[in-house]
Every structure is written in structure tokens, then in C-alpha cells.
Structure 1
Amino acid sequence: MKKKFTKKQIAIKYGFKSGLEMQLDESLKQNGIDSEYEAHVISYVIPESKHKYHPDFRIVKSDGTEIFLETKGRWLLADRKKMKLIKEQYPNLDIRIIFQNADSRISKNSKTTYGQIATKLGYVWYDFRKLNLQELLKELQ
């Protein structure tokens, strides 16, 4: 009997960290959008220590402006803190978050969702389940 591989295992085989990243990469390519996976590095500072953030996708629009896409399945506290620091230190960067499920709660005891936190932090975000990919693709060109 053949071993079944998970989406994450397949994604890792092709150099991605998650199945969602691989799905978005395939969708972008199928629609003629040129993107680079984790090719751009954004340095940021956690007070008293320096760190680097690799946005999942960097897209350069036809007018030369950059858009960064970050995919999130689980959005753990450490990632939320990191994204808060990035927004504070680089307020003019166009970073957009694509959640696998933006209605996921930050913890089982909280009513707060990933989407609500992203809005509070000032990010444009999308729910991959409800995403009109064609609209997003038009905006990314």
C-alpha cells in the first residue's frame, strides 16, 4: 500500500513551509502573476534584539510598487507580535495577510478572530476560503 502524503509534506518537498503557500504560488503562476517565494528579507528589531522577516511572496506591480503576501494557517502569538513590530517599524510597506480561515479564534477561550487582530494591527487581509482570486490578481498586476 502506498503511503499517503499530507499537503504540508508535499509542499515541503517543493520548498514551501505549508500547503497554503504552495496553493497560492500555484494560483499566482496559473494566472500569470510573477512572484518570488521568500526571496525578499525585511529586517526588524524586537527591542534589544535584531531579527529578520521573510515575507512569503513579493510581487512587483507594473507601476514598480511592491506588495508582500503572507499566508497564515495558524497565527500564533509569536507571529502576531512579529507582525505588530513589522507594522510599527515599516508602516508604509504593503503587506497583506491571506488566512486559511480568518474566522479562526486566537485561542479556544477567546472570541477574537485572526481577521479582527489583523484589522486592529492595520493589515489588509483575505480569507482564502472566500477569496475572489481574480479580483486580487487584477490588483496585483
Structure 2
Amino acid sequence: MPRVIPDWVRAKSAARKAGYRSGLEVSLGEEIKAAGHPVIYEEHKVPYLVPETRHKYTFDFLLANGIIIEGKGIFDATDRAKHLYVREQYPELEIRFVFSNARAKITAGSHTTLEDWCHKYAFGFSHKHIPLAWFKEPGPAIHPSVLLAEGPYGYLKRNPDAAREEALRRAKLR
């Protein structure tokens, strides 16, 4: 039985051969040419910035010693990026992952596993269970409850060094 190729696939293929990305762009190029004007297609790029967006990260578990435990079955690219942003903005937080399968690939066809990713970015991880050693460790120098006491974005509003000093001061007062 011959393979049936949908019309939109044929149109896209024809557009690519004509130097465009879609059938609509082919039609528009032809319109411009028929109107007697030069066809100037994708010759200029406009640089722009994506405005800052604020997000909130709710971690799964907080051990008494201040270690954050994140349970993960699926760990997609968006989630991995989120954890790298959180690490960059809150380097004092000690986030560790417990994967349902630490040897799973980060994406289908990838050679990188979840444990490889954790090694690369220096995140602690475990397979299926929280190691008893994590409960006994001293944890981070600044407990997350102290660090985040100012609210979700208070830490970022001021100079990071000033925020750390304030968190340490508050910890001493308690």
C-alpha cells in the first residue's frame, strides 16, 4: 500500500524548496512580486529581550537540617532549567533530588541520564529513597526558612550580599 502524504506536508516541502517556511509565505512572496515590488524575505533580524518573568518554586520536602528534597519521576527541560535558575539566585539552598529512576534518560534518544545531569550541575541525588546520611548532615549554613523569610522576592530586591548578611543577623536573633 503506498504511503499517503498529507497535503500540509507537501505544501511545507514545496515552500522549503522555494526558499520559504510555509505555503502562506510562498503566496505572499508571489503577491509582492506580482505587485511589481522586490521580494525582501527574512533579510533583517530585530533583536529583542524577553521581559523578566517572576515565578515561584514550591519544593516538596524540607528536612529539619535545612536540606530540600525534591521527588522526581519526570524531570523535563523546563524543570531542569528552573532548578538551575533557583541555584543561581539562591546558592545557599541545598536542593537534592530523589528520582524514581536516576538512570532514566533526560529525553528520549539522549545519552545523558538524570544522574549524569546531577553530577554535571553538582546536585545531590538518590534513587527511590532518601539516604539516612542526609538526615544526619548539618545542612546549609543558612536555613531556608530564614533565607526566605522576607517573602518570595525579597531576597532578590536588594544586593545579594546584603540579603545574606540580613539573613545571618536574623538567625542570630532567634
Q: TM-score, normalised by structure 2?
A: 0.47
Shift in CA distance, 67/109, structure 1 to aligned 2, threshold 3 Å: same
Shift of 1:120: 1.5
Q: What amino acid does structure 2 have at the position aligned with 1:57?
A: F
The structure number with the bigger radius of gyration is 2
- In the alignment of these two chains, the number of paired residues is 90
CA–CA distance in 2 between the matches of 1:82 and 1:50? Answer: 11
Which residue is 2:124 aligned to?
124
Q: Does the 8 Å contact 1:96/1:123 carry over to 2? A: yes
Q: Does the 8 Å contact 2:63/2:135 carry over to 1? A: no
Spell out, residue by residue over 1:78-122, the C-alpha distance to the aligned partner (whole angstroms, 9 max, x if none): 100101111111112111111111100011211100111122222
Shift of 1:59: 1.7
Which residue is 2:26 aligned to?
none
Q: Does the 8 Å contact 1:58/1:68 carry over to 2? A: yes
Spell out, residue by residue over 1:38-71, the C-alpha distance to the aligned partner (whole angstroms, 9 max, x if none): xxxxxxxx9610000001001222xxxx111000
Which residue is 1:73 aligned to?
73
Q: 1:53 aligns with which of 30, 51, 57?
A: 57
Q: What amino acid does structure 2 have at the position aligned with 1:114?
A: L
Structure 1: 5+ residue stretches without partners? 1-45
Shift in CA distance, 69/140, structure 1 to aligned 2, threshold 3 Å: farther
Higher helix share: 2
CA–CA distance in 1 between the matches of 2:131 and 2:126? Answer: 10
RMSD, matched Cα? 2.3
Secondary structure, aligned partner of 2:83 = helix
Higher strand share: 1
> Once the two structures are aligned, what percentage of the paired residues are identical?
34
Shift in CA distance, 110/89, structure 1 to aligned 2, threshold 3 Å: same
Q: What amino acid does structure 1 have at the position aligned with 2:72?
A: K
Secondary structure, aligned partner of 1:102 = coil
Shift in CA distance, 92/104, structure 1 to aligned 2, threshold 3 Å: same
